[in-house]
Each structure stands twice: as C-alpha cells, then as structure tokens.
Chain A
Amino acid sequence: MTAGRPGRPASVARRLGRASIIVASILFLCLFLVVPLASVFVEAFRQGAHAFVESIDQPEAMAAIRLTLLVAAITVPLNVVFGIAAAWAMTRFQFRGKALLGALIDLPLSVSPVVTGLLYVLMFGAQGWFGPWLAAHGIKIIFAVPGLVLATIFITLPFVARELIPLMQSQGSEEEEVARVLGASGLQTFFRVTLPNIRWALLYGVLLCNARAMGEFGAVSVVSGHIRGLTTTMPLEVEMRYNEYNYVGAFAIASLLALLALLTLAVKSALEWRYQAAENH
C-alpha cells in the first residue's frame, strides 16, 4: 500500500504530481481544519493555564460535562443496537421495501437541526400531540434529559448503520451460513463470526456517533430550555459563556470537546495500528 512501489523508479512527473497533491492536501487541511482548531485553543489559553483550569473547575461546567457524557452514554448504545439490527436485516435478507428502509435511515441527515428540535416540540411540547397527556401524568420530555436524548438520537441515528451496511454487504453472509450449518446458535454466530468481521467499522461508527452526539448544538438548543446546571450540555454552555463575554471560559469548554473528540480518534488510530501490526505477524 505504499506509494513508491518497489522495483520501479518513479518518473519526475510522477514525483512532482505526488508532491503537489501532498502539499496541497496538507495546506488545505491546515488552513481549513487546523487553524480553526488552533484558534479555539489560543482563545482558551489567552489568560494562561490557570484561567483555563479555573473556568472548567466550576459546578455548572461540571454539570454540563456530566450531562453531555450522560446523553452520549444513552444515545450511542441505542444507535449501535439499531445500526446492527438495521444492517443485519438489510444485508442478510431480501425483503420488500429495503430501498425505502435505506432511505429512511439517511433521512435524519437531511433534516435541519432547527427542524429536528421543532419535531420534538410538536410532539411533546405543552401544545403538542402528547403534551397535555404528559403534563397530566407529570412526565417531562422536552426541557429535560429525555428530550435532549431524543434529539441527539435523531441527529446521530444514521452513523453506525451507514458504516456497517456497505461493509456487511461486501462481506456477504457465507461465513455466517457455514457457522450455522456447523451447528452454531444464532447468538454464537453473531458474536464469533459477524462481530469480529465488523468490529472496525462498528468502532468507527461509534466514534462518529459519539463525536456528533457530544457536539450537537442546534437541535439540542431547541429542546433544552437552557436551565443552567440542569439542562445545558457542553455546546450550550459554550454559547452561554460566549454570551456572557466569558470568552476564555467558552473556548475552554469548546477545547475540552475538541480534546474529547481527538482523544477518541487517537484511541481509534492506536487500535487500528495494533490490529494491523498483529495481522502482519
């Protein structure tokens, strides 16, 4: 998989083309991704590390971090189960309406986050479909954790399924069928054959789903109610602090979110690397 294939010296034109593609790519990524990221960290540390730590070590920041992790911890497993179920049904069986199901899985991507929030207000708001019933039974959905979770599930629903479907499609079901014929139970087949085959795509789907779940702003903003320390997730806390002229505090939380994301991505890279190293042995 390396560029300079052995035994054939690359021509000058080839090398030139290769170098320009690399340089242009690095340049683009730096200007486009690294600079905005850097600006977040620069702002966060504008008044030094002490101010950074101080602005995070506060009850409302901690509450926001806890809430964000809680929402992600509920959202991601649910979407993983959904993703596996949907991918299993779609790649292992033929049925009517399969294309429709595929389209429905992608549908949340096309819905504006503003509208996503509105959807749940129309369902569970005081004037919504279920609003009066919920109020009568004292159940809170929007402006409480369940609403935040629902909106986040909606936004991140496609990610796991989208990673798994193409992979499971291309892998086919032969290995699983053999396992079944040899007498493995359904669960054994899944855990011993399917899961090892899809684990990288699954992990990747989980990471994307998680990153998006922690960072979602628009939809969550509509159903949050912005009660500080209670229903504000990290992205909402960022906005609040920004609106309080607390730029260091806002960017400190933002950089924490970026760090969380980079950390999960680093874990993924490390796992991939170890896995590849083990395979090459």
Chain B
Amino acid sequence: MRRRVLPGFGLSLGFAVTYLGLIVLLPLAALAWKASDVGFAGILKLLASPRTLAALKLSFGGALLAAGINVVVGLMVTWALVRYRFPGRRILDALIDLPFALPTAVAGIALTAIYAPNGWFGRWLVPLGIQVAYTPLGVLLAMVFVGFPFVVRTLQPVLQSLEQDVEDAAESLGATGLQTFLRVVLPTLVPTLLTGFALALARAVGEYGSVIFIAGNIPLRSEIAPLLIVQRLDEFDYATAAALGVVMLAFSLVLLVLVSALQRWTRRWAEQSA
C-alpha cells in the first residue's frame, strides 16, 4: 500500500462512521430489535396475508414503474436542459428540485386538488374515463413526482461532462442523430441512469405524505405499505409495525443490490464495447 500523503484518514472515517452509527445504525437496530418481538414465523405470516401482499405489490410495483417513467422522461428533460438553449431554460432547471422542497403533504394536496373529478385536470380527464385521483394511477403519479429530481440531478453533471467529440465523430462518419444517441451516447449513460433509477425507486417505495392524499386507500386496491405500518401503530402494535418496516427495508435493499449489480455489469459492458 502506498504511503499516505494526505492526512485526516482516521479523523474523517472515524467521524463519518460514528455519525452514521448514531444517526442511522443504532435507530435501525432499535427497529430490528422491536421487529424481533414478532419473530420470523410472525413475519412469514404477515407476508402470507393478502392485504400485506397487495400493499407491498402496490408500493414496490408502483415505485418500480414510477422510477422507470422517471428514467425515460428524466433523460429527455435532462437532454433538453443540458444540450439545448431555449427561453425559460434556467427557470425550468431551477424548478426540477421543487418536489424536494415542497412538503410532501402539500404536494399530495395539490395533486389531489388538480386531478380530483372537479379539479383543473380531473374535470377533463374523468369524462374521458381516466380516473387519476383515488386510484392506483394516483399513487403512481405521486411517486413519479417525488422521484423525478433524483434522475435529472444524477444525470445532469454526467451529461454536462460528456464530450460531444465522440458524437460529432460518429455523425461525421454518417451516423444519424438517433443512431448516435442509441449506439454512442446511451451506453455511457446507462450506469448513471441506473443510479437515478435506484434513488427514485428508493424514495418512492417509502413515500407516505403525498401518496396518502391521492391514493383512496382502499385495502387490496389502493392501500400502500407505509399506510399499513401507520395502521399497526394506531393499534399500538409497535412490533408488527416495526416488522413491516424491516420487510420493506429488506425488499428495498435487495432491489438496490440488484440495480447496483446491473450497473457494474453495464459499466463493464460499456467499457468493453468502447
């Protein structure tokens, strides 16, 4: 190992690990400890209940779909913001972070008001048979909303630093714009897109504040998993609530590990093909 020229290894690592330990790990240990009251068999029983399954399916399915939508739309929007100049670009760029800043409850109320049958959009969509508010579609909408900035903000710096030389070279060799994009640009962006996907996914899975207003919250249909946790808490059943929390966290982590494996694989693939 190379002699360390730079100082502060012990200090910085020590601080970071202590901070993480106190703020994140210790509380999560408390959660696991509480969840252990339910036991492994209890967790399996919980997972066997159709209600829990339906809620988990909605939370994770919705979040996966929302993250997917965010990747596609986010790529388009980031491309426009980084590569093109048009009036209002800076304002739109600043607005990207809005879902971060707006309290989730406000976002939920605003989206519900807009998409309710008597809302700005709802009054046009509902006669067409498109019900957004109080359906799983509403859940999806809120999830896309909270996850959107993650994709754009992850992608933006990478796209900015991406040299246009390669694209220019490809095009001067006769490739069309679309071919250039698909063959040259997209492969280098895939690992970053996956990062954005993972972040948007993680955020959407656990989202409560904004979803609860627009979901309708009907069991087996539009009830999200965090709401089940809240219901258990209202029954003073902390153990089951904690167990549900642990289950959700475990699923999220499995998904994130899968995404990061996929990322490593695509990165290697992009390097080989380059």
Contacts and interface: CB of A to CB of B under 8 A. Distances in A.
Interface of A: 1-3, 5, 13-14, 17-18, 21-22, 24-26, 28-29, 32-37, 39-40, 43, 78, 81-82, 84-86, 88-89, 92-95, 101, 103-115, 118-120, 122-123, 128-129, 150, 153-154, 157, 166-167, 173, 176-177, 180-181, 186, 189-190, 207-208, 211-212, 214-218, 221, 234-235, 238-239, 242, 250-251, 254, 257-258, 260-262, 265-266, 268-269
Nearest to B100: A211
B207 interface: yes
A167 B161 CA distance: 11
B30 A123 contact: yes
Interface string B177-194: 110000000000000000
A181 B7 CA distance: 12
Given A254-B106, A258-B102, A118 B23 contact: no
A123 B12 contact: no
A207 B81 CA distance: 19
Residue from A106, A242, A250 having most chain B Cβ neighbours under 10 A: A106
B37 to A, nearest CB: 11
Contact of A29 (B77, B103, B209): B77
Interface stretch (B42-50, B90-98, B126-134): B90-98
Given A123-B26, A189-B6, A235-B103, A82 B98 contact: no
Contact of A154 (B23, B99, B110): B23
10 contacts: A13-B177, A33-B99, A43-B113, A85-B16, A95-B13, A110-B206, A112-B207, A157-B20, A186-B7, A216-B103
B148 interface: yes
A257 B97 CA distance: 13
Given A22-B86, A238-B105, A85 B206 contact: no
A127 to B, nearest CB: 8
B97 A28 contact: no
A128 B238 CA distance: 11
Residue from B11, B13, B79, B176 having most chain A Cβ neighbours under 10 A: B13
Q: How large is the interface on B (under 10, 10 to 19, 20 to 34, 35 or more residues)?
A: 35 or more
A127 B225 CA distance: 25
B249 A101 contact: no
Given A93-B13, A112-B245, A114-B230, A129 B30 contact: yes
Given A101-B16, A118-B233, A261 B203 contact: no
Contacts of B17: 101
B90 to A, nearest CB: 6
B177 to A, nearest CB: 5
A115 B16 contact: no
A154 B5 CA distance: 33
Nearest to A104: B20
B27 interface: yes
A119 B30 contact: yes
Contact of A110 (B8, B79, B205): B205
Contacts of A261: 97-98, 100-102
A3 B106 contact: no
Given A118-B241, A238-B103, A269-B93, A113 B28 contact: no
Given A92-B6, A104-B20, A106-B202, A21 B80 contact: yes
B80 A81 contact: no
Residue from B9, B12, B34 having most chain A Cβ neighbours under 10 A: B12
B73 A21 contact: no
Contacts of A107: 24, 28
Interface in B70-126: 73, 76-77, 79-86, 88, 90, 92-107, 109-111, 113-114, 120-121
B140 interface: no
A22 B81 CA distance: 8
A90 B199 CA distance: 20
